A and B are shown apart, each in its own frame.
Chain A
Amino acid sequence: MTAIDPVTMARDSHVPTHKTKKTDWLGLGIVAVLGLVVVVPLVVVAIWAFAEVWRYPSLLPQEFGLRFWNATLARPDVWGAMFLSIRLSVTVTLLSAIICLPAAYAFARLDFPGRNVLFLSFLASHAFPKFGLLVAIAGIFLNLGLISTFWGVVLIQLVGTLMMMIWIPVAAFQNVDRAMEEAARDAGAGPLRVFWSVSLPQAAPTIFAAVLLSFVGTFYETEGAWLIGAPEIRTMPVLMITFINNQIVVQYGAVLSVLLWIPSFIALMFTRRLVGSASFAKGFGV
């Protein structure tokens, strides 16, 4: 019988696989150390947030409870700061996207005089000690009456996001196949439509990462927020610092920290979904 029986074929084609993967002790060690450094402080802070009594040398708190949570959440200034921070981060990120994305596209696609100098200047704003720069800006803002106003803080935070929102999207736009844009022109789309329908979606995964980073960065920023915003405008991180400075009760700080993690966790969850998808790697030109 020469006819091939599909059943035996399938059985025969089962090739035994050998387990060649050995345990990578070095890798495991690195992961363990990293985990210790990153996770342990987080866990400790989280435990502190729920501890009511925790005396040395006990490994765990003697009493758990939500007393400090209640105390913290009962304070109107905490809620005020939380909403302010969210409002601030959303405003800054949106403004930054509206300003920076078209600019990034221009950097990636157009050649105009002074292009490179301008491009580098975004890097330069981050290459020097920030505090000195902030003090100088604060002086200018004082004259403009922007000190201690919402829009003053928005402006200073906007400056902080510029680099991230220009440099990363420029790379993303440069990776967009020019022929795709030309094909859209050919199909009848004007330059703006091409940007909106082709360039932006093509660069989207990478740009989304930049937007996320600038949102989180704005949310946690303290120096500018404090220098420009004080005393009227107090964001969450600034509030936390004042808490800790005024009364050394570890739990207050811990509760606020845990509250501050919320945007990070949301950001991480988004990023995780993105990193898993193939388009994210493509966005980075991998």
Chain B
Amino acid sequence: MAQLSLKNIGKSFDGTDVIRDISLDVEDGELVCLLGPSGSGKSTILRMAGGFETPDRGAILIDGQDVTRIPPEKRPTGMVFQSHALWSHMSVADNIAFGLKLRRMPRREIQEKVAGALELVGLADYGSRRVWQLSGGQQQRVAIARALVLEPKILLLDEPFASLDQHLREHLREELRDIQRRLGITTLFVTHGQDEALALADRIVVLQGGEIEQVASPDQMYRAPETRFVAGFIGSMNFLACDMRGGRSDHAVFQIEASVSDGPVELAIRPEAIVVTPSATSTARVHRTTDYGTHILVDIDLADGTRVKAMCPPATRLATGQPVSLSADRVTVFRGTEKLADVAPVEMREVAHV
């Protein structure tokens, strides 16, 4: 259907670079999530794609056509806003019909399309309601219907579910995913919730300070973070500082071998990559256990005072203060922001007294 390309986009506000130099291709029917901390420029990128901001540098192409200077009303994009931005002086049906009326569509056809759009988001009987008579979740669905009814080539969503509670958010997320798949609509989705990105996206773009840190599929993003920032930003991660000497780490617990030049490094280990076994001779002690039902999260104090999180199977029984030994089946080595090596599996050795 449609393809969106950002080519070397740059944007500054009042002299400060908000977007430095970003290039991104969203393929036909793909759902790409822009993920990043607050102020990283996610909304700015989305607004440039929608025509609400003009980039200072670079070009935006839709299906190969340059739309950089084209105003929003002439762009084949549809936007869903965080605050839903429904027009409160119109009924739900009028909100959805507004764009169709502008296109001078016959009335009969408009009615059919509006009914279809409401049906699509599960609000078939709500057309005559006023906007403020709907719940937050219903309002957000109307906003999605309003964007979809115009059959945009590109759908843009700026944290559409951020103001909803966890339960509703997950529910709407799944609905959106289904609709997007069914219509095969090319979508750019902004979120700062990593679970949302992991659940929705075909590809995730992690942004920081107006620059792309990494572009990858959700599983790659989680399992193979390319930068220190992504490693820390997606999921939870233990970072353990130590030195590499002669291809070995000098960490008291996690000694790994990697062909890495000598110097300080950080070992990044996922909680679920750590295996905890009770061991009377160990100096590492259980600080606290939290039972999440599906798994047990164990905080462990190492001898040097650092605290490590480990995810254990739900049957694990560990007492506070109990000495345990640790091993990791996957470790990533970072120096500064740069990834040096992936090490897996690692031969672990518990060293009780160093």
Contact = CB atoms under 8 A, between A and B. Distances in A.
Contacts of B102: 187-189, 193
A180 B72 contact: no
Given A184-B98, A188-B99, A193-B102, A179 B85 contact: yes
Given A187-B146, A188-B102, A182 B79 contact: yes
A198 B87 contact: yes
Contacts of A202: 87-89
A187 B105 CA distance: 14
A190 B85 CA distance: 17
Contacts, number: 62
A183 B87 contact: yes
A198 B85 CA distance: 11
A184 B87 contact: yes
Contacts of A193: 102
Given A188-B103, A202-B89, 7 more contacts: A182-B72, A183-B79, A185-B71, A187-B150, A188-B73, A188-B74, A189-B73
Interface string A174-199: 00010110111111111001000110
Interface in B14-53: 50-52
B55 interface: no
A41 interface: no
B271 interface: no
Contacts of B83: 177, 179
Interface of A: 177, 179-180, 182-190, 193, 197-198, 201-202, 204
B72 to A, nearest CB: 4
B89 A185 contact: no
A119 to B, nearest CB: 22
Given A188-B73, A190-B73, A202-B88, A182 B81 contact: yes
Contacts of A204: 89
29 contacts: A177-B83, A177-B85, A179-B83, A182-B52, A182-B72, A182-B85, A183-B85, A183-B86, A183-B87, A183-B143, A183-B146, A185-B73, A186-B72, A186-B73, A186-B78, A186-B79, A187-B73, A187-B98, A187-B150, A188-B73, A188-B102, A188-B150, A189-B73, A189-B98, A189-B99, A193-B102, A201-B89, A202-B87, A202-B89
Contacts of B103: 188
A49 to B, nearest CB: 42
The 7 closest A-B pairs by CB, nearest first: A187-B99, A179-B85, A183-B85, A185-B72, A201-B89, A188-B102, A179-B81
B238 interface: no
Nearest to B85: A179
B89 to A, nearest CB: 4
Interface in B317-343: none
B191 interface: no
Contacts of B86: 180, 183
Interface string B54-75: 0000000000000000011110
B5 interface: no
A189 B103 CA distance: 9
B77 interface: yes
A284 B146 CA distance: 28
A192 B71 CA distance: 14
B190 to A, nearest CB: 14
A190 B75 CA distance: 12
Contacts of B85: 177, 179-180, 182-183
